[in-house]
Amino acid sequence: MYLLRFPNHPGCHLYIEVGIEKAGNFLAVCDEIASLFDMYMPARDEMPLRVSIVRAEGSPCCYRGSHEIYLNTEIRYVSQAAYQFAHEMCHYRIPYLVAENLRWLEESICETASHFYMRRLAHVYAERDGHVLLKAYAPQFAEYSDKVLKESRDVDLADPLQIRRMELNWYLREENRCVAAKLLPLFEQRPALWQAVPFLGDIPPGFSLSDSFSIWKKTAPAVSRRALGEMQSLFM
C-alpha cells in the first residue's frame, strides 16, 4: 500500500495498493486538475483529501465528511481518471449537502466539470513542454470528453415534467450529460460561474427552481451572479 502526495497540493494524497511504478501520469493529471480547480472554483475552506482507486460497485464517489474520493478506474487510464476525478472534485468543493430537489442540478454541473476541466487539461498539456508523454497525450482528453457527451438523452430544460423526472432520480446519467452539454458553453464563456458552484449547498430545501436560483444569486460571489442569471434563463 502506498500514499503518494500530490506534487503541488501537500494536503492531497493518492492511495494505491499496486502499480506505484506506473502512477506518475495518473498523479500528475489529478494534481493538474486540482490546480485548475484552484484557479476557477477555489475551495471555500482548505481541506485535506485522499484519492483512492477502488474497483467496486458504488464508485466513483465523494465523501466530504471523511475527505475522500474513490475512483473506479485503473492506474493506466489517465483520461478516465481525469473524467472521474474532475466530477468528484466538483462535488468535494461544495462543502454542504445539496437540497434533494437540486441534486439533479448538482450532478449535471459535476458532469459539466468533467468536460470543462478535461478540455482545459488538454490545453495545458498541449502548451507545456515539461511533460513529454502527457503533451503527446493531450488531444485524447478532449476526445474522451467528446465521446462521453455523445452518450446522452435529450432533455428539454424548459419542460417542468422533465425537470421533475430528474428531481426524482438525479442519477439519470444520459440526461445529466445532455444538461451538461447545454451548460458547458456557458461555463466556457463565463468561467466565473464556477465560483458560484460551491454555494449550491447553501440553498435551503423545498424551494422551486426559480426561487432556488434567486437565493443562489444572493449567496454566490458577485462576479458570478450575471452568469447565474444566464444559467437560469436556460430553464425558462
Residue 12 CA to its chain's centroid (Å) = 17
Average pLDDT over residues 52-79: 88
Name the percent of the chain lying above pLDDT 70. 98
pLDDT at 148: 95
What is the pLDDT, as a whole number, of residue 130?
A: 72
Q: How far apart are CA 115 and CA 96, in angstroms?
A: 23
219 pLDDT exceeds 70? yes
Taking the C-alpha atoms of residue 114 and residue 190, their distance in angstroms, rounded to an integer, is 16
Question: What mean pLDDT, rounded, does the chain reach?
Answer: 93
pLDDT score at 20: 74
Q: Please write down the HEC assignment for all residues of 43-68.
A: CCCCCCEEEEECCCCCCCEEECCCCE
Residue 120 has pLDDT above 90, yes or no: yes
pLDDT band at 128; cut points 50, 70, 90: confident
> Which pLDDT score, from 0 to 100, does residue 221 have?
97
Q: What is the band of 129 on the pLDDT scale with cuts at 50, 70, 90?
A: confident
Say if residue 147's pLDDT is above 80.
yes
Between vectors from CA 151 to CA 235 and to CA 172, what angle results, nearest 5°? 55
Q: What local confidence, expressed as pLDDT, does residue 19 receive?
A: 67
Question: Average pLDDT for residues 57-84, to the nearest whole number?
Answer: 91
Residue bearing the bigger pLDDT, 54 or 108? 108
For 142-146, what is the mean pLDDT? Answer: 95
Q: How far is 158 from 212, CA to CA, in rounded Å?
A: 16
| Strand-by-strand arrangement of the 49-53 sheet | 2-6, 9-16, 49-53, 68-71, 61-63
The answer to whether residues 90 and 72 touch, using CB atoms and an 8 Å cutoff, is no
**Which range has the worst mean pLDDT, 10-19, 32-41, 76-85?**
10-19
Give the pLDDT of residue 13: 95
**Residue 80, class by beta-carbon neighbours within 10 Å (0-12 exposed, 13-18 middle, 19+ buried)?**
middle
Model confidence pLDDT, tens digit, residues 148-187: 999 989 999 999 999 999 999 999 999 999 999 999 999 9
